[in-house]
Amino acid sequence: MSDFDPSVLGGSVKRRIVNPDLLEERAKCNFNQRELCLFLFGQSLVDYIEGVSDFLNENPQICSSVDYYEKSREEQLREWWERIDFVLRHEKMKHNFTSNSTNVNNNFHWAYLLPGQNPIVLHVTMFTESILLFGSEA
């Protein structure tokens, strides 16, 4: 038994305890959350996010735990590279990874559902900025 008291300390990600105040506010929700989601994002993006979420639930080995934030930078990068390798070997997810240059999902990327920074994003961003800076005629 833990001496962690949510009524005093709030929630805890590590202990998988949702803050009681947040639970109380969620219970007051008086609108259809799914309807709002569809209104804001559209059916295509909602389907995409749900598909990725289903894939992550089916493959928990590529999901991070709260310990992710306690890892060194090298350990975090290794975890990402192992995840990317797994995704690229899976036909369904490979398409989501390699077709992300199209704007069909409002620039939402599957990796946004996981903690930390995907190492490829940083390299792509730096490469793009370098090309724009050094490749211009100005």
- Say how far apart CA 88 and CA 99 lie, in whole Å: 12
- Say how far apart CA 6 and CA 12 lie, in whole Å: 8
Give Cβ neighbours of residue 13 (< 8 Å, ≥ 6 apart).
66
Task: State pTM to two decimals.
Answer: 0.68
Instruction: Report pLDDT for 103.
Output: 55
- Say how far apart CA 80 and CA 121 lie, in whole Å: 11
pLDDT along the chain (138 residues), means of 10: 75 83 93 94 90 91 86 89 90 73 66 79 72 73
- Say how far apart CA 1 and CA 114 lie, in whole Å: 30
Instruction: Report pLDDT for 31.
Output: 94
Cα separation of the two ends of the chain: 66
Instruction: Report pLDDT for 37.
Output: 93
Instruction: Report pLDDT for 104.
Output: 60
Assess contact for 105 and 48: CB atoms under 8 A. yes
HEC per residue, 42-58: CHHHHHHHHHHHHHHHH
Instruction: Report pLDDT for 136.
Output: 67
Tokens 């995840």 label which residue?
Answer: 83
